[in-house]
Amino acid sequence: MKQTIKKLMHILGAYRALLFCSIFLAALSVVVQLYVPILFGRAIDGIISQGNVNFSIVQKYLSKILILVLISGLATWIMNMINNRMTYRVVRDIRSQAIRRLQTLPISYLDAHSSGDIVSRVIADVDQLSDGLLLGFTQLFTGVMTIIMTLIFMFSQSFHITIFVVLLTPVSFLIAKFIASRSYNMFQKQATVRGEETALIEEMIGNAKVVKAFAYEEKAADHFREINTRLQDCSQTALFYSSLTNPSTRFVNSVIYAGVTLLGGYAILAGSLSVGGLSALLNYANQYMKPFNDISSVVTELQNAFACASRIFALIEEPEEIDPIRIREIYGEDEFGGDAEASGDAGLTSRAEAEVRGEVDIEHVSFRYVPETPLIEDFNLHAHPGMRIAIVGPTGCGKTTMINLLMRFYEANSGDIRIDGESIYSMDRHTLRSKFGMVLQDTWLMHGTVRENIAIGAPNATDEEIIHAAKEAHSYEFIKRLPHGLDTMLTEDSLSQGQKQLLCITRVMLTLPPMLILDEATSNIDTRTEVLIQSAFDKLMKNRTSFIVAHRLSTIRNADVILVMKDGHIIEQGNHETLMKQGGFYEKLYNSQFAKAQE
């Protein structure tokens, strides 16, 4: 928890001016409020006996009290405004850092964490943090100031009674600390389970059709019930422990109040304290104890807030994938300061665009997702510029993994990959990926217009260029039929899976990249449209080095080289005719798909 608080204070450093103003106003408000009981005591002392009241003194002090109350109210109002602004700026900064880090995290992290848990950290956990910070700023500053200033005013009234109060104060602290240390772990567990629950809800909603098709509703409900029960247990335990803080400290404070009353009564009888003085001391004793009650109430929120903050900081501190040079280009030095070489990846190549010939060499590459499970071992390939390389093989043989290594979504455990003689590990990733156009089996469209979705890779493209690319990709026919054409806003269910894939193909047609990667690029498209797309791809792949991953072997018959993979190794290599004559594994794959059609 200490490390989490340090990180929060580091972010707060950017708003130290607002922080100091808040502390000053809290001190001003407290001093003014604490001076009021003294004035009340003096007014009470002006009421000497029945029929003997000094009205001029009483009126003078009551007028001062009214002015001080107005000053205190105004200071508190301004302080609350500052605290609100400071809190939500801190939350804005944390969310911005989280989103930026998500954009720079390696694919391996995103694969290993559910999207629901990540969303929970960025949304729900940061909301909990903002609630805790707001309460902390509003009540913690005022509470601490009240405790300090009350002691000063109490010492001015009675030294012995104040010492009695101070000696009993640590009891409240010890009780609060004992309970808080136990509730923090439970709040941390609560935040983790809440992220797990969010992930399940997102999965069930996002895949509702699959859930219904396989009659998984009851099992999903049972799974949710189990997680929800754990969340209930964590929440109840955390709240039980934290709820003990307030009544425990109130009990100690009641003992202090009773002690002040008793000692003050003896002091009045001894003539060392006036009735007005005792009134002021009792008021101070009450105000001195109130911050402890308020702070103990805030402890629950703060424990929850710090637990959530630790989760969001764990995300923010994950090592990024994008090289330091690229980070500075995107976000600037202010966000990610420091020396580029000290940050790692020194000596990266410049992003200046150079002519890409498309010669690819893969030398002795090995890779494992899990250290003890080999996947790709000693992979070698030489691709001439403009060559079409098809990669085929059974599921799980390493076809898509090779694409992931080529694009540096994952890093090879050993070996080297070179493009035009330059190692991809000496390039920053953005430069490397800008050399490729990529169409995947899994489609992704952002919430925006058709135009914005097509022009992701070429934001300055004109409508004429976009329409030309759409025609080449055979997506223009359905785009014309949309309510507002290119200006139609897209949602999750606006288009069919095939239409989504056509838009993804249109993106690549628009950017005209030097090299291509097609990973099951036509898997969701009907046969007639696939023939048209294939002709468009043929034009696009002309003089471009292209890597084609396909299960439908009819789509790769015209490839210059077909790599047949099995268990992470290339077991056969050649064009379609050569491989069919060999009568090996490729022939079996091909015939298994087309035997019935040939009959």
Residue-wise pLDDT for 501-559, tens only, equals 888 888 888 888 889 888 877 766 777 777 777 777 777 788 889 898 877 776 777 88
> What's the confidence (pLDDT) of residue 417?
92
Query: In the predicted model, what is the mean pLDDT of residues 12-37?
Result: 83
For residues 177 and 270, state if they share a domain. yes
Distance CA 576, CA 459 (A): 39
Strand partners, 572: 564
Give me the chain's average pLDDT, please.
79
pTM of the predicted protein model: 0.60
Q: Which of 316, 350, 374 is the last residue in one of the domains?
A: 316
Distance CA 226, CA 238 (A): 18
Any domain includes 461: yes
Residues 6+ apart with CB under 8 A from 27: 145, 149
For residues 279 and 365, state if they share a domain. no
Any domain includes 107: yes
CATH of the domain at 386: 3.40.50.300
Any domain includes 514: yes
Any domain includes 433: yes
Assign 413 a pLDDT band (cuts: 50, 70, 90): confident
> What's the confidence (pLDDT) of residue 331?
42
> What's the confidence (pLDDT) of residue 337?
38
For residues 306 and 411, state if they share a domain. no
> What's the confidence (pLDDT) of residue 51?
61
**Is residue 230 predicted with pLDDT exceeding 60?**
yes
For residues 106 and 223, state if they share a domain. yes
Among 217-226, 267-276, 466-475, which stretch is predicted with the lowest mean pLDDT? 267-276
The range of the structural domain enclosing residue 183 comes to 2-47+56-316
> What's the confidence (pLDDT) of residue 323?
54
Any domain includes 412: yes
Distance CA 90, CA 14 (A): 9
CATH of the domain at 242: 1.20.1560.10
For residues 309 and 377, state if they share a domain. no
Assign 498 a pLDDT band (cuts: 50, 70, 90): confident
Residue-wise pLDDT for 349-370, tens only, equals 333 345 788 899 989 888 888 7
Residue-wise pLDDT for 102-156, tens only, equals 888 888 788 778 777 888 888 888 888 888 877 777 777 777 777 887 788 778 7
Q: Rounded to an integer, what is the distance from CA 267 to the centroid of its chain? A: 60
> What's the confidence (pLDDT) of residue 554?
67
> What's the confidence (pLDDT) of residue 564?
87
For residues 411 and 307, state if they share a domain. no
Q: Which of 285, 316, 347 is the last residue in one of the domains?
A: 316
Distance CA 472, CA 468 (A): 6
Give the count of domains, the chain: 2
Q: Between residues 296 and 37, which one has the greater pLDDT? A: 37
**Beta strand spans in 93-135 (E):** none
Assign 419 a pLDDT band (cuts: 50, 70, 90): very high
Report yes or no: 376 and 406 within 8 Å, Cβ to Cβ: no
Report yes or no: 133 and 87 within 8 Å, Cβ to Cβ: yes
